[in-house]
Amino acid sequence: MSIGFIGLGIMGKPMCKNLLKAGYEVLCFDMVKAAVDDVAAAGGKAASSVSEVAKQCTQIITMLPNSPHVEAVTLGQGGIAENAAPGTLVIDMSSIVPLASRKIHDSLKEKGIRLIDAPVSGGEPKAMDGTLSVMVGGAQNDFDEALPIMEKMAKSIVRVGEIGAGNTAKLANQIIVGVNIAAVAEAMALAAKAGVDPELVYKAIRGGLAGSAAMDAKTPMMLDHNLKPGFKVNLHIKDLGNVIDTGHSVGVPLPLTSMVMEMMQVLKVGGMGDADHAALIRYYEKLSEFEVKRLS
């Protein structure tokens, strides 16, 4: 039996290809035919619709942009709920609002279909090399069934609680990543305009308490002015919008998140929504009226 894979974007396509490399048979679908053709050329099977995937697969991965897309694929006309067999396991690896995960889970449960929420972190590079981090919410037995599949796409996989907990953890992750990248950009702008080589500052501090995976991934991109998206500004805006909505719903003020959200909105308005979120360096270059670059 094939594994179904719905959603072949920046992250989904390499994740799907890693399943193929591991020897799984994968039936894939995306609205963009070129993405399906690319995966088919790598050995995957092409489906013409969500319903075709749902009818043929009892384990289905979804990797979609946001809550409405996941709801449409799972609960909408021609979707998984209408076509999947009872007992089917849906592994939703999209990053969506936790309340949406719970709603979808409860609706699918009425049809005898199981769901876990398993959003990922690591961006395109880690999706490509199969070292993503996955945060999972759902029943233990469903997690156990999905684990061997997820292990072919990820290095760190942690069940953090019941349904919705995975996406709650992902929201926390996106707060830390966004604020961290903004802090790195601010620090590099300070160093550069003060006349100190920002690359040497990065090398000097990366081994101390300030060091982080975000710093290591994004500082070289900032200094090279390489903004090819591993994770787009627009996607981070989507995630921070979900963070803020969730924070408001549970009564948690989020002043740092809100500030970074507005910084990213400046980039979006400036036509950089499809750039990597390392483009936050551009925000600081504009504020300081100074180009951040290596001095040596």
Is residue 174 in some structural domain? yes
Report the CATH number that the domain containing residue 42 is assigned in CATH.
Answer: 3.40.50.720
**Are residues 35 and 108 part of one domain?**
yes
- Is it the case that residue 1 has pLDDT exceeding 70? no
**Are residues 144 and 198 part of one domain?**
no
What range does the domain containing 7 cover? 3-161
Residue 230 pLDDT? 86
Is residue 296 in some structural domain? no
Which band of pLDDT confidence, cut at 50, 70 and 90, is reported for residue 123?
confident
- Is it the case that residue 295 has pLDDT exceeding 90? no
**Are residues 210 and 133 part of one domain?**
no
**Are residues 128 and 61 part of one domain?**
yes
Residue 86 pLDDT? 98
Q: Which of 110, 141, 161 is the last residue of a domain?
A: 161
**Are residues 207 and 110 part of one domain?**
no
Segment 4-15, tens digit of pLDDT: 999 999 999 999
Q: Which of 137, 161, 185 is the last residue of a domain?
A: 161
Q: Which of 161, 178, 194 is the last residue of a domain?
A: 161
**Are residues 112 and 17 part of one domain?**
yes
**First-to-last C-alpha distance (Å) of the chain:** 56
Is residue 295 in some structural domain? no
Region 191-208 average pLDDT: 97
Segment 20-68, tens digit of pLDDT: 999 999 999 999 999 999 999 999 999 999 999 999 999 999 999 999 9
- Is it the case that residue 242 has pLDDT exceeding 80? yes
Active-site position among 170, 218, 228, 232: 170
The DSSP annotation for the chain comes to -PEEEE--STTHHHHHHHHHHTT--EEEE-SSHHHHHHHHHTTPEE-SSHHHHHHH-SEEEE--SSHHHHHHHHHSTTSHHHHSPTT-EEEE-S---HHHHHHHHHHHHTTT-EEEE--EESHHHHHHHT-EEEEEES-HHHHHHHHHHHTTTEEEEEEEESTTHHHHHHHHHHHHHHHHHHHHHHHHHHHHHTTS-HHHHHHHHTTSTT--HHHHHHHHHHHHT----SSBHHHHHHHHHHHHHHHHHHT---HHHHHHHHHHHHHHHTT-TTSBGGGHHHHHHHHHT-------
Mean pLDDT of the chain: 97
Segment 273-290, tens digit of pLDDT: 999 999 999 999 999 999
Residue 275 pLDDT? 97
**Are residues 188 and 103 part of one domain?**
no
Is-catalytic flag, 170? yes
Number of domain units in the chain? 2
**Are residues 7 and 108 part of one domain?**
yes
Residue 207 pLDDT? 97
**Are residues 40 and 154 part of one domain?**
yes
Is residue 294 in some structural domain? no
Segment 126-143, tens digit of pLDDT: 999 999 999 999 999 999
**Are residues 104 and 188 part of one domain?**
no
**Are residues 184 and 154 part of one domain?**
no
**Are residues 157 and 193 part of one domain?**
no
Q: 233-250 and 98-109 are packed helices; what angle lies between their axes, rounded to 10 degrees?
A: 80
